[in-house]
Amino acid sequence: MSAIYVDADACPVKSEAVRVAERHRVPVYIVSNGGLRPNPHPLVHNIIVPEGPDVADMWIAARAAAGDVVVTADIPLAAKCVAAGAQVIRHNGDALTTANIGNQLATRDLMSDLRAADPFRQGSGRRFSKADRSRFLDMLERAMLRASKINGPTS
């Protein structure tokens, strides 16, 4: 059975992921290191990991597999999940795949170096928009349809 894993700290589309999970009747794992209000929905598993760098990422990476969908903006986590065969979607609806993950890692590293060299170069660019939310919902729906082909129907 497919599952949706959400890297939940600072994730603006948790409720959208739950709506899609409900429609497809698959479990959704909301993974964080605390500070989030637990979701009481019966398909939601609220996973609270210990404090520490990348602990939530490690929890997700250890479980995500082919037929699963991972929602994250964390590029190293995305790379691990793509390598495991999972589908990965950013909060804005961008898909991270075997075709683009190498470029995404390189860009991330370059931007990290640029920020380290120039402390005034901060911020991630544009704000999260309604169009991003809509694109995310569309991509998550498509990913769940592809996952059902891998794992079979969910009902």
Phi and psi at 136, nearest 5°, equal -60, -50
Predicted confidence band of residue 123 (pLDDT cuts 50, 70, 90) = low
Q: If you average pLDDT over every residue of the chain, what do you get? A: 88
- Please count the structural domains in the chain: 1
Residues 15-50 have pLDDT tens digits of: 999 999 999 999 999 999 988 889 999 999 999 999
Stated as kind and residue range, the H or E segment containing 46 is: strand 44-48
pLDDT of residue 148: 82
Domain carrying residue 35: 4-151
Any residues with CB less than 8 A from the CB of 56 and at least 6 apart, and which?
Answer: 7, 8, 9, 31, 32, 33, 47, 49
3-state secondary structure of 28: strand
Predicted confidence band of residue 94 (pLDDT cuts 50, 70, 90) = very high
